[in-house]
Amino acid sequence: MITDKSKPYSYRSDVVSALSEEIASSDENVVVVHGGGSFGHVLAHQHGISSTPSEASPHGVARTRAAMYELNQLVCRTMMEFKVNPYPFSPFDAAGRAGKAELAKWLRDLLKKKMTPLTFGDVTTSGNGFRILSGDLIVLELAKSLLPERCVFALDVDGVYEENTSVIIPELSPSKIRKMKVDAGDDATGGMKLKLDVAARLATLGSKVCFVSGYRRNEFSKALKGLEFYGTVVRS
C-alpha cells in the first residue's frame, strides 16, 4: 500500500504523507509496522525467499534486507516531515528483549518520550537457510507484549470482502475467520490469508482489529481513533 507492487522500488510518498498527518493529529500512542512492498517483496521473489525456509543465496538475502532498510528510511523521512518522530528499529531489536514485560516496558518508554516506534518485515535465519519474517507476524508478537486496544491494518482495499463479491464484511469474529477459505495469493509473506489469521489471534488477545483502506485517510483516521469507519472490524 505504501508502494506500487507492480513497479519495483516505487515509493508512494503521498500515501505515507497523508497517513503521517493523521497519526500526528490523532494524539494516539502508535507503533508502526510496514511491509516490504515493491522493495523487499520483489527481491524476495527473485531470490526465492518466502515465509517457508529455503536455502536462498547470501547475496539475495543481502539485497532483500538492504531494500527493506532503504524503504524504512524513506518512511522515516516522510514521517518526520509531518512532525511524527519515528524511532526505527529492526524487529530483531525487539526479539533481543528478555521477555514480553521488558519489550513492553521499552516500547512504552519510547511512547512516553513522544517517539513513534517503527519497524518492518525482514529476513531471518531458519534451519539451514532463510525465511521472511512478515510484518504481520511482527505485529502479533508486539501485541502479545503491549496488549493494544486497537490494531489497524492499512490496506490497498477497503476491508475484507464477501467471497467473489465487492461487498465489504463489516465485522468478523475469530471463529468466522477460521471457517473462511482465503487464498494466500503470490505474496511472499502470505497476503490476506496471513493477515486474517493474525487478526483472529489479535482479537483473541482482546484487541479490536481494523482493516481499512490506507488510501481513505479519513476512514484511516477514524479507525485509528476508535471511531466507526468504512471497512472490516475483527473482534472476539
State yes or no: pLDDT of 191 exceeds 70. yes
Model confidence at 93, pLDDT cuts 50, 70, 90, reads: confident
148-173 pLDDT, tens per residue?
Answer: 999 999 999 999 999 888 999 999 99
pLDDT at 98: 64
State yes or no: pLDDT of 188 exceeds 70. no
Q: State the average pLDDT over residues 74-96.
A: 92
State yes or no: pLDDT of 19 exceeds 60. yes
State yes or no: pLDDT of 185 exceeds 70. no
Domains, the chain: 13-234 (3.40.1160.10)
pLDDT at 190: 62
Please give the share of the chain, as a percent, with pLDDT higher than 70. Answer: 96
State yes or no: pLDDT of 183 exceeds 80. no
Q: How many helices (H) and strands (E) does the chain have?
A: 9, 9
Separation between Cα atoms, residue 236 and residue 208, nearest integer Å: 8
132-154 pLDDT, tens per residue?
Answer: 999 999 999 999 999 999 999 99
Separation between Cα atoms, residue 138 and residue 34, nearest integer Å: 10
Q: State the average pLDDT over residues 7-15.
A: 96
pLDDT at 184: 57
Buried b (16+ CB within 10 A) or exposed e, 110-147: bbeeebbbbbbbbbeeeeeebbbbbbbbbbbbbbebbe
SS3 state of residue 125: strand
Q: State the average pLDDT over residues 112-138.
A: 94
Please give the share of the chain, as a percent, with pLDDT higher than 90. Answer: 84
Model confidence at 187, pLDDT cuts 50, 70, 90, reads: low
pLDDT at 92: 86
209-225 pLDDT, tens per residue?
Answer: 999 999 999 999 999 99
Model confidence at 72, pLDDT cuts 50, 70, 90, reads: very high
Cite the DSSP H helix spans in the chain: 13-26, 37-46, 58-81, 91-95, 100-112, 135-146, 174-179, 191-205, 217-225
94-112 pLDDT, tens per residue?
Answer: 776 768 899 999 999 999 9
